[in-house]
Amino acid sequence: MERLILSLLVQPRNLLRYHGLHFVTSSLDKNKQVLKAENEKVLAADQQKEEKRAAEINEALNEDKMNGNRVSASVAYRIAASAASYLHSHTKSILRFKSSKSAPDENLHEEIDNIDMINQDIASLMATTDSVTAVVAAKEEVKQAVADDLNSTSSSPCEWFVCDDDRSATRFFIIQGSESMASWQANLFFEPINFEGLDVLVHRGIYEAAKGMYEQMLPEVRSHLKSHGGQATFRFTGHSLGGSLSLLLNLMLLIRGEVPVSSLLPVITFGAPSIMCGGDRLLHNLGLPQSHVRAISMHRDIVPRAFSCKYPNHVAKFLKAVNRNFRNHPCLHDQKLLYAPMGEFLLLQPDENFSPNHDLLPSGSGLYLLSCQVSNVNEAEKQIRAAQDTFLNSPHPLEILSDRSAYGSDGTIRRDHHVKSYFNSIQNVIRQELDYLRKAKKEQRHRVWWSLLEPRGVNGGIIVHGPISSGNEGRGQFNFSGVFRVSKESLKRCSRLVASQPMHLLVVLLLPAKFLILKTYSLIQIH
């Protein structure tokens, strides 16, 4: 059903009409092409087999005529064998026979059945926990088989779509979140390995999946560069697992020399798990600013917390015992987490009627950016990391999972992670900001009119007083000098003035929301 909705949403006429984008292609189209090619091969092979069988039967009948219309035992056997071969070749792809010796793990079922649970999703969680243990502790040949399956170019763990903005020569790559079994396979395969041969560790399963998608998307990257040359730009974005894949694909194109740094726009992720240890150092080594990665997380979303929360000592000891890749894992050893956030960390708080406000954020909906006003860069980074750590452990994923209301289609886990929740919340924040800008502009015009009737000061500047965003009274007020206009320049000016306020460690509303995500938020509805 979800794929049907996707195909309806990503209609070329809808993209062009509502978003000004031209649809280019998608993984669905690519898979159709691969399936068509495979079917043609199968049909050709079947045709050859049928022709061979027909020739054998004709030969048998001719032999039968020579023997006086008597069907010999050898002729009957050849005809029966030919028919059996034909039936087998056409039924093995439909019927999946299992050995009678294979049986489910009775101990696992007994453990699950003996637990007093109301919601069956909790039983699924228990089974998933066993799956995680199996993947992490598996032998290398088994893990390599999983890796080969994930980085296959004939399939994708997530659906993806490519669209063009002809006005800016920008090609958008939008990647869907976790849905299929392959995507969960990628999530569970979380051991650390080196990324692109560099001294940075990455989530193996997601990296393996990115390798296969890279080969699928590369022709679309090259064709865009060929059409637009140095003017071509690329925007990668995605929700959940799709956001993590977007980040890796963006960096892989740069590291492998396919795309110049000037052509890569910042990656914007929504509810994506952290998947790197040493990610900020990698950005620095590649000559990229931290703003190249803008990770937007819903205030109570469990997914961004999954790999970046504090892990108990016994969990760390277990991982190190069953998998040697964790024994020298700096994030687990030094920070008690699997993977650290990288880039800019933005917090999205929806309306409190949808989800309760977070205790560490001001009341009301908004998009917030962690920022530290300390002159010493190292000290500022240290304090920001401490703030991120506090937020990602409040609430801790175990606290979320211990609540029975977290499960099911109406549970808090789905509510705070679903792509529609992100879309609606961002849409609400942008609507608030635009309302505030209109209100401020109206007030500014009013002040200009009255200033014509009053003596002007030496500077003659216009001062607009008001809260950062509508609906957020009580957060404190800021003064903005200069003519307030709805433009990129005025938005940038406002953000600089807000950031210059004398606060030691502040969480401020990201004013240039339109500049950052106005184009992207309208795209996430398609996945």
**What's the rounded Cα separation, in Å, for the pair 112 and 407?**
16
- Supply the DSSP symbol for 343: S
| Residue 131 confidence (pLDDT) | 55
Backbone angles phi, psi at 241, to 5 degrees: -55, -35
Contact 273, 247 (CB under 8 A): no
| CA 140 to mean position of chain CA atoms | 27
Examine the residue annotation and report whether 22 is marked as an active-site residue of this protein.
no
Instruction: Spell 17-48 as b/e; 16+ CB within 10 A means b.
Output: eebebebbbbbbebeeeeeeeeeeeeeeeeee
pLDDT of amino acid 413: 92
Three-class DSSP category at 208: helix
**Residue-wise pLDDT tens for the chain (527 aa)?**
344 344 444 567 777 777 788 899 998 887 777 666 666 677 777 777 777 776 766 666 566 555 555 545 555 555 555 555 555 554 444 444 344 344 445 454 544 454 444 345 445 544 555 555 566 666 676 667 767 777 776 667 788 999 999 999 999 999 988 765 566 667 778 899 999 999 999 999 899 999 999 999 999 999 999 999 999 999 999 999 999 999 999 999 999 999 999 999 999 999 999 999 999 999 999 999 999 999 999 999 999 999 999 998 988 888 888 888 999 999 999 999 999 999 999 999 999 999 999 999 988 899 998 888 788 888 888 888 999 999 999 999 999 999 988 988 889 999 999 999 999 999 999 898 889 889 988 888 877 766 665 554 443 333 323 333 333 433 333 332 332 233 444 344 434 433 333 333 323 333 333 434 444 545 544 44
**Beta strand spans in 373-473 (E):** 463-467
- Tell whether domain 2-31+128-366+398-425 is in CATH 3.40.50: yes
481 is catalytic: no
Q: Are 296 and 113 in contact (CB under 8 A)?
A: no
Query: What are the residue boundaries of the structural domains of the chain, listed by start?
Result: 2-31+128-366+398-425, 32-91, 428-526
Catalytic residue among 301, 355, 358, 490: 301
**φ and ψ of 224, to 5 deg:** -70, -40
Q: Which two tokens stand for residue 397?
A: 């994923």
The DSSP code for 30 is H
Q: Return the bridge partners of 481, or none.
A: 463
The active-site residue, picked from 26, 27, 82, 240, is: 240
* Active-site entry in 417, 469, 495, 527: 417
Alpha-carbon distance of 268 to 385, in angstroms, equals 20
Question: Cα–Cα distance between 141 and 58 in angstroms, integer?
Answer: 48
Known catalytic residue at 409:
no
